[in-house]
Chain A
Amino acid sequence: MNAVLLSGLLGVVMMFASFLFRTKAPVRILAILGMAVLLVANVLDTKGIHFFHVNTTGFLSFTGYALFFNTIVIACTLIFFLISSKDMQKVGNHYAEYFALIFFILTGIFLVTAFTNLLILFIGIEIISIPLYILTGSAKKDLKSNEAALKYFLMGAFSTGVMLMGIALIYGATGTFDITKMNIAGLLKSNLLTAGMLMLLFSMCFKVSIAPFHFWTPDVYDGAPNVFTSFMATIVKVGIFVGFLHLFYTAFDAIALQWKIWMAVLAALTLLVGNITAVFQQSVKRMLAYSSISQAGFMLFALVAMNETAHEGLLLYAIAYCLATIGVFGIISKMTDYSFDGFNGLAGHQPLVALCVAIFMLSLAGIPLSAGFLAKFYMLKAVIQAGGYMWLVIFGVLMAAVSAYYYFRVIQAMYFKEGPNHFSGISAFEKCVLVGICVLIVFTGLFPNIIFGWMYF
């Protein structure tokens, strides 16, 4: 509970920070400090020290898994602030408000990871979505940003409508919103329940951009300001994914036969569409948008498997995917040309930055010794353990091989081609952060047991 209330309060504080400070530097420092406080508060919560005593029975339950995941989310957001907060100044004049909105989004993510009531799921998803619409359109004069915001808003509101219809039908069938008390095993033949469950499934797929509900993703990720694309493609996506897993694991496990095959087909379709389209992109930003779709396909493996390994794998995937993508976007927002050609010869101009990009790309592609490899390995292992979906595993490996093509294209452009410098410069501190992210990625890849040790201490 610490993190939920504190992040809400910090959001309000950041809102008023825009009046308190005339310059931007104190706002940024306040936001980073606030995020650090949030991290400490959440770790203390994990250790059993609660700042606030609120009775949340029947609405929220902060399990160790949820709290550990929240720690990951906060840590990733802290890293995101450290590397990208300076670039947020370029977006518009409302610097403090952007931080406030990000704090509010975190509140939503904490609710979505810990809900036990569909009401909280709905509110959490909306608290995530509504600030994101604003962040997407925050570059007010940029037509692409406007368009992305309108598109995202219309699609998001539509999928919210579908989700609510699903919740209403489930309520009609079970008589409760509490996912632990639904007693679904007694309602195997209920049409209302099946229809509601499918609608929930579709709308959640919408929110995490699973094919065929992914069509908004490339446009929105492409049009939004770089820094916010980074945030919503990583932290928000994995946050909603944990809620998705929690929902189906807790509520609908009893009717798994009805939806598991759908889930497997969706995962395969997402991998196919995401990877094949990413191959043909000319802009690295748009390529990363499609790569985020294909990574979502891998994360969906957790919902096909539905076992302990899947839970651990999703955590690892969250770490690996968030770190690498935040790093790449941190660099992209400092480039003047996002196309593959813009990366030509980067190794000559900025050897350290190029090395970091190479490590991020290798991790995203899932090359051994990186966190990305381990994450993919855990996902495949989880599906093998669950049994029955061997074709999906083989298909996943095949698609991972395809994905290597477009990730390596960036590395090839940096190291084996010549071109003018499109990099606008980076401070020594941000370089340190980049190196830190690389170290974290390799460290997670080498010693995953330490991470799980923290989880189960």
Chain B
Amino acid sequence: MKKIALLLSAGALWAAVAPAETLINGAGATFPYPMYSKWFNEYKKIHPDIQINYQSRGSGAGIAQVTAGTIDFGASDGPMNDLQIKEFEDKHMGTTILHFPTVLGADVPTYNIPGVNVSLNFTAEALAGIFLGKITKWNDPELVKANPGVKLPSADIIVVHRADGSGTTYIWTDYLSKVSKEWETKVGRGTSVKWPVGLGGQGNEGVTGQIKQSPNSIGYVELIYALQNKMLYGKVKNPAGEFVQADLASVTAAAAGAAKAMPDDFRISITNAPGKTAYPVSSFTWLLIPAKIADPAKKKAIVDFLGWMLKDGQTMTEALSYAPLPKEVVAKETKAIAKIK
């Protein structure tokens, strides 16, 4: 009995002593999760006293929780709209929230069709049709037309989308809204939309997992998830008329225009970007950082991390198939770090 009391008080003491480390918690997008988990692991190795814990829960959760103040920073691939920014400011006595782009990534249409071992071509009409539920079979003329020589089965298409609030969804629906009037009026863009058809998976991880297990399914995931799981993903037709596969070059090409036209708050959409080699469903992804951080140790840690991320961090992106930020954006961002008080 005495021993138990002793152990309990020791435990309570250990808990009460302030940790020497700086502990920062963030949550949000699953889109850049492989990159962030690598970065924060590496950063901890270099700075053992700074621990940045990142939980991938979806961009929606990132926005909601950073607004609620339960986490130190959020992450999202769909930039916060004006209403959401105002809500943040209302809850945090006037301080605003800042967007910091970290990497460039791409949403790819990944699929699992027994018998098909090549990368299919998808036109904008095809993708809109599939996700609207109007194209229901794999051997629909729209798909067959774009893929001569590929034997597409007459099976029903199983659409998989995100069940949770997702920046990946934002990117995908942003693209579909730009290429399909019907999509724009019927569904629109957002982190959480009313899907006309399909099954819901949790996170990029869940969608990838669901597609892997469902024959004749298709869904949209971030490029790295398709690559890491050795899944096929299609080429998408860009505004210039080319069928482009998502990779470092095509994603970087999509951001070329944005680099020069980047607004001060870094909120920009690069889907359906012009350029012959540009991949049309590319996007920046952002860290959502409050402009005012009360704890000086946390503020210093976050500011230092951002600096590291813009220099060393950018060298690690290609290994995970994310494209690094254009130089102009890095320069602009480095100056913007000073906005964090």
* A associates with B: no
List residues of B whose CB falls within 8 A of some A CB. none
A residues within 8 Å of B by Cβ? none
